[in-house]
A and B are shown apart, each in its own frame.
Chain A
Amino acid sequence: MSAHDNHPEGVAHHFESASQQFDSGKLGIWTFLLTEVLFFSALFVAYTMYRNNYPEVFQFASQYLDTNLGALNTLVLLLSSFTIAWGVRNAMLGETKKLTINLIITLVCAAGFMMIKAEEYGHKFHEGTLWGGHEHSIFKLDANDVDPHMAEHSLAFNNPDGEFTAAVKDLDPEFRQKLGIFFGIYFCLTGLHGIHVLIGMILLSWLLIRNLRGEFGPKNFAAVDFIALYWHLVDLIWIFLFPLLYLIS
């Protein structure tokens, strides 16, 4: 019993002190982030390979992506990273109300990011700028498989220079198929990132509920700190995705 009496409050029995408990958690979350970086790296390697081999496909396909929406999403994610970093400060200082506000702003930003993303995806499904295997894709290898209405569609619609006006069906089949692969990579990369944003939203909601119950304070802020680290990683990945996908001139 005496050992229990001396045990610091809020520290699990297998840890000697609060700082040991905190350090263990921190090591754990950093190790998890390492696996996350490697998880995404496979898709980045696919991107690099493909861009190395077919730079002209990337230049052409990138015109279909809305740079303004991409930039807006970058700013939204950066703002959310700032508010969660501020939230960690709030938690360390025991500013519960400010932490609640910052968690809510972060959640709203995350939801805004997903809504903008949904708008972009919706537009692509409407225009048929999808991976080649999709039913409505305009980038199928055989032009006869492309929806006849879509096939007549001129490709100048999203071209800022307005110089290229070939119909989808008149594109070189090999080139059209490669455009489909670009969109496969685009949807995999942004989709996997989007799933991470959704998981982040669940975690942030959990933090919000716990904070409303008054569970966080200067001695117990580890969960806020660790989830903030995860959220920053999601931001980091988008920082690289944005120029790689949207800004190819």
Chain B
Amino acid sequence: MSDHSHDSEEHIGHILPLSLLLKVFGGLVCLTILTVMTGKADLHGADLAVAMVIATCKASLVCFFFMHLKYDRPFHGMIFLFSVMFVGLFLAFVTLDSEAYQDDIREKLSNDILQISE
């Protein structure tokens, strides 16, 4: 990018070289093939963890390069990071509570089934 201008009035946004975009796209396709392969293989219970690690790698590639976060103001990345953190909190608190009412649900379900079969 030889025509980089440092004039604050002119300089808006960051232009990504095409070669970098192509590399990122290639990486994303490779990771997709990898996740299909690992998804079909038996990984002895690690399937979900492996799939999520690969998905997170793909998501990072999209965020940092396609969405320009690597070159953008850190504040925009922070906004995005906070949204992901709050999703994490949401998941964590709900998961903590998830088994709490299962016995009641099972009891209710088995009563319903008894009523239907009667």
Contact = CB atoms under 8 A, between A and B. Distances in A.
Answer yes or no: do A and B interact. Answer: yes
- The A interface, classified by DSSP as helix, strand, loop or mixed, is helix
Q: Chain B interface mostly helix, strand, loop or mixed? A: helix
Interface string B50-77: 0110110011001101110000110110
A177 B79 CA distance: 40
B87 A248 contact: no
Interface stretch (A103-111, A125-133, A228-236): A228-236
Given A53-B98, A249-B42, A78 B79 contact: no
Interface string A15-58: 00111001100110011011001100110110011001100000
Contacts, number: 150
A178 to B, nearest CB: 9
A142 B109 CA distance: 12
B109 A37 contact: no
A31 B79 contact: yes
Contacts of A86: 18, 21
A41 B58 contact: no
Contacts of A239: 55, 58-59, 62
B48 to A, nearest CB: 8
A232 B28 CA distance: 13
Nearest to B40: A249
A71 B36 contact: yes
Contacts of A22: 12-13
18 contacts: A17-B8, A33-B80, A38-B86, A41-B86, A48-B95, A52-B98, A67-B39, A75-B29, A78-B32, A81-B25, A82-B21, A85-B65, A92-B13, A221-B13, A232-B63, A243-B35, A243-B55, A249-B39
